[in-house]
Structure 1
Amino acid sequence: MVCTTLNMDQRKQRKELSQEIRKKIIDKHVKGKDYKTISKQLDVPVPTVAHIIQKCKIHGTVANLPGRGRRRKTDDKSKRRIIRMVTKEPRKTSKEIQDETKMKLFAKAHQLYVHRRKNEAYQEKNTVPTVKHGGGSVMFWGCFAASGTGCLESVQGTMKSQDYQGILERNVLASVRKLGLSRRSWVLQQDNDPKHS
């Protein structure tokens, strides 16, 4: 096999030779012509002539052989494993697949892809639950000081003034003790919500 190095100008001009020219190269070689003569007569670089002749000697053909291009980095077993992974968890990213399979399949992938079959977009395994508007709310009463956080109490329903007073009775002094504040070193501050007055 002949290895060649092309400079940038040669790479730009390089193109696939037709089947007809390849056959002419072989015919001239069979008739005893040397590489340089064939190169001049057909206007094909000498390394290309040498490569085509070597290919014909080894494979018995001048046609393009199957398997040209980049070869797969996965075998059939790995491919089946990846398909099972994506079928089970369609939201899995290429990075997660790469990490799990310990292969560099998607080394330059910068986008995240969702893998799912047609008409399966809204199945539970393919969706992420979210709440946009009106999803409900939970209210808590809590307090804090420089030394940390005090008690926290969940508020059920709509809070009225009586509910607020009950929360203060249950939690303010307990929070003061929890925070280690002395009886005269703290001030309870609250906003101007009507129930606070």
Structure 2
Amino acid sequence: SFGTPANHSESHYPQHGTVVNLPRSGRPTKITPRAQHRLIQEFTKDPTTTSKELQASLASVNVSVHDSIRKRLDKNGLHGRVPRQKTLLSKKNIKAHIIFARKHLDDPQGIWENTLWTDETKVELFGRCVSHYIWRKSNSAFQKKNIIQTVKYGDGSVMV
């Protein structure tokens, strides 16, 4: 109807006789839209930021939040995930991979059916690697900032 704001439903005015926001149940949010925007920016810039670090960052602008950080991130499409791991490749190896792929791009399917594919795994001898946690949006698992790069050598492990 004419004269009512677009974000109000059609039945709001006839039911209550006003277009003013009415009191809601529950505790109002402590985080301002500006602080929420800063929160999202921080995690988008560095997905490995912990919620404790972010609480300290928000405290510097006089915003104290507790568990609502996770809720805010979730509402904005950022979910906590274990990051993908990818072997660290040198520029020379990346170039060699691309050359190999382009060379064999048009090979028939039968060649690859007769190829023996092998894989390797790293077995930790003394405990396991430290687990990491990141905040990312859906379908962004393989973006460079959301991947933890690994190396093929180190102490206390066996490659099989």
Quickly name the TM-score band, shorter chain normalised. 0.3 to 0.5
TM-score normalised by L of structure 2: 0.37
Greater relative CO, 1 or 2 (CA 8 Å, sep 6+): 2
Name the larger-Rg structure. 1
Which protein has the bigger helix share?
1
